[in-house]
Amino acid sequence: MPPEPLIDLASIDTGNVIADREAIGRVNPHRFEFALLDGICLLDHEAGLIAGYRDVRDDEFWVRGHIPGRPIFPGVLMIETAAQLVSYFAMTRIPEGGFLGFGGVEGVKFRGAVSPRERVVMVGKILQLRARRCIGATQGFVGDRMVFEGTIVGMRI
């Protein structure tokens, strides 16, 4: 049984885009195929909450080979999407000192498949934020169905 959502899903309005791909790119260094967030729609530094989304397209580099005839958004890309969400939070809260790179992942569970033409809403709750390290609990949803959960550890690089 999945855990409770970190954020009340009804409070997330993906039509209210706080940061689009261009604005995210001014904060996160990821480019081209690895710029995985399409929008940030909730950012609450005081509560340590963030939500964003990824519109999975049918022309992405992995579709042809993962899995032919039934493409499934790779789990490692879900983890990377969650990491970019945590990075965006940390870099908008404490912008100086390089960028936030992977320090680790913990407790990752994949609870459902994600296919092209689906929107994955990633939510995060920041558990710890320091100048050199950030830890965020994250979850991914397609509609109200949880498809991913895990804790992201980011380190300044």
Contact between 46 and 116 under an 8 Å Cβ cutoff? The reply is no
Alpha helices in 15-115 (DSSP H): 21-25, 75-93
List Cβ neighbours of 54 (8 Å cut-off, separation of 6 or more): 36, 37, 38, 81, 119, 120, 122
Contact between 112 and 36 under an 8 Å Cβ cutoff? The reply is no
Spot the catalytic one: 30, 66, 119, 133: 66
Alpha helices in the chain (DSSP H): 21-25, 75-93
Beta strands (DSSP E) in 3-144 are: 19-20, 39-44, 49-55, 100-110, 119-129, 133-142
**Does 45 qualify as catalytic in the annotation?**
no
**Which amino acids are annotated catalytic?**
66
